[in-house]
Chains A and B, each alone.
Chain A
Amino acid sequence: MKHNRMRAHFAGILVLLFAGVGQVTFAQESHIGGLTGEASRGKKLYRRYCVGCHGPLGDGRGENAPWIDPKPRDFVTGTFKCRSTPTGALPTDEDLYKSVTRGFVNSNMPSWLPLTRQQRADLVAYVKTFSSSFREEKPPSPLSMPSESAANQQSIQSGNELYQKMNCWSCHGKEGRGDGPSAQTLVDNRGYPIPPYDFSVGTRFKCGESNQDLYRILMTGLDGTPMPSFANGLTPAQAWDVVHYIRTLQMNVKRKKQTAENEKKDGGESKPVGAQPE
């Protein structure tokens, strides 16, 4: 229901073009902070950097896709792992920008940080053109994130209990080694096997490495994967407890300034801007 209005606009655009009322081209844009990305520029960059995996149609079927595991993202469905928005919703421009900037650990998607902010914004604008969803809908507001509670023993204990209660262990294992009873059965939305994250290896997480990123992964889920959103099941305070407990499962991580460092980085933590009211 909520999307009707946007769909109406989209249909309107089609009608408008179809009727030939002037050669109006609607700029496909992205807005990241004060930057405006343009799809026309993004297309050239996409051809240079991205097309080999994500393909000329953005369907994740580029010439290298058969050799890549995990498979490149299919942009056409509009389903994205790393979001600040609820499960099932479109990501904000900022979310996509961060993904391009950060890359995805344990995948072939590198960090495109060496590209300029403008170039990354342009890429986001172009990537959005592959899915009609971005013309039909607007991403909802990012989930709010109350400030982090103290990572004390009580919080960790509560997180441990929630880890059991929420069946996190079914996939991630009792000790967080990614070896739960359901681990072997998991597939992504294209049917390819996908292993649950093994906390003990201590690499950064799919969608970042700060506690805030971890909180967001818990509450938004990783759409397209078996990782659900816990927004319905956990209160914010409980989610922070789970975050604190998960940190204790990262055996191999030297725990120093774990959260602080990434907050400062380009493309790191910043105020959500993708869902500004139009």
Chain B
Amino acid sequence: MRTRINYLQIGVTAALVLLTAHGAGTRTLRAIGTSSEAREDTSGAATLSGIVKLEGSQPVATRINMAADPACLKMHSAPVMSEEVATGTNGALKDAIVYISDGLGNRTFDPPTEPVVFEQKGCTYNPHILGMRARQTLKVANSDPTTHNIHPAPQNNREWNLSQPPGSSPIEESFAREEIIPVKCNVHPWMKGYIAVFKHPYFAITSKDGTFDLRNVPPGEYTIETWHEKYGVLTQKVTLETNQTRTLEFVFKR
């Protein structure tokens, strides 16, 4: 086996030379994952901010019944509402993800070294929607006095499913590929959240007031998408000039 791999590497090198000569396959070269020419370059960068709204009658949040696990029930004195659709004033839509879906070309970005934390607290996920980078470390913490199982259901990454009893140290995982991954706890069927994985840093999750901010975006033409777990995806195209600040508004219709 070892000899085969070595042979392969020799072959790859030969092929690289060939490819470069043909001027093709740059993308493939990058995919090999060693080169990272385009670092995050903040000079002349633009800023894209805006708001995501929900038009039409405001939905009524449904109540979650945690009776199946008394440990969960005991933690809440007030009723717990589903976080599937959360709105603020004037139709501001919380927990929409705004991100650049196209236009970054061949730029590659190294993932941040600091981890992101996805917490199970009060038998819900905190945050409800987590944004993170591909290959960034994800820490899953259980702050509850009951056992959860953290079960992401990805399409492009491989699925895993880990039980996490109370008091155990955080689980460390990562996802290699970009995608928005639903996360469930099978023990507590009401527990649903999302982990959005991006290979670039240009994404934001709207806060209660529906606003978002994408900073340090290199000038260029982009396709911007907004994703919401219930209302789907909206798309806009923008051109960002050097040092420009632009605002965008996304409106989901019920």
Contacts and interface: CB of A to CB of B under 8 A. Distances in A.
Interface of A: 1, 3-4, 7-9, 11-16, 18-19, 21, 24, 26, 77-79, 86-90, 133, 165-167, 170-171, 181-182, 185-186, 189, 221, 223-234, 278
Contacts of B18: 19, 21
Contacts of A14: 28
Given A228-B151, A233-B164, A182 B186 contact: yes
Contact of A8 (B32, B174, B184, B189): B32
Nearest to B176: A3
Chain A interface helix/strand/loop/mixed: loop
A108 B132 CA distance: 40
A76 to B, nearest CB: 11
Contacts of B29: 15
A11 to B, nearest CB: 5
Given A1-B135, A226-B161, A233-B163, A12 B176 contact: no
Contacts of A170: 68-69, 186-188
A12 B11 CA distance: 8
Contacts of B184: 226
B162 A229 contact: yes
Nearest to A182: B189
B113 to A, nearest CB: 11
23 contacts: A1-B174, A7-B31, A11-B12, A11-B32, A15-B16, A15-B25, A15-B28, A18-B15, A87-B160, A165-B165, A167-B187, A171-B187, A181-B68, A182-B189, A221-B163, A223-B161, A227-B161, A227-B186, A228-B149, A228-B150, A232-B162, A233-B163, A278-B2
6 nearest A-B residue pairs (beta carbon)? A88-B160, A226-B186, A12-B12, A181-B68, A185-B189, A228-B149
Contacts, number: 147
Contacts of A228: 149-151, 161-163, 186
Given A12-B32, A221-B162, 15 more contacts: A7-B31, A11-B33, A26-B4, A88-B159, A167-B149, A221-B160, A221-B161, A223-B161, A226-B161, A227-B161, A227-B186, A229-B161, A230-B163, A232-B163, A278-B2
Nearest to B11: A16
Contacts of B187: 167, 170-171, 182
Interface string B160-175: 1111110010010110
B9 interface: yes
Contacts of B153: 189
A241 to B, nearest CB: 14
A181 B163 contact: no
B161 A166 contact: no
Contacts of B189: 182, 185-186
Contact of B28 (A11, A90, A165, A234): A11
Contacts of B149: 167, 226, 228
A167 B69 contact: yes
Interface of B: 1-2, 4-5, 8-9, 11-12, 14-16, 18-19, 25, 28-29, 31-34, 67-69, 135, 146-151, 153, 155, 158-165, 168, 171, 173-174, 176, 184, 186-189
A119 to B, nearest CB: 23
A4 B33 CA distance: 8
Residue among A12, A21, A181, A186 with max Cβ neighbours from chain B (10 Å):
A12
Residue among B135, B151, B174 with max Cβ neighbours from chain A (10 Å):
B151
Contact of B173 (A19, A21, A88): A88
B190 to A, nearest CB: 9
Contacts of B69: 167, 170, 181
A227 B11 CA distance: 43
Given A8-B32, A87-B161, A228-B163, A165 B147 contact: yes
B135 A233 contact: no
Contacts of A79: 158-159
Nearest to A181: B68
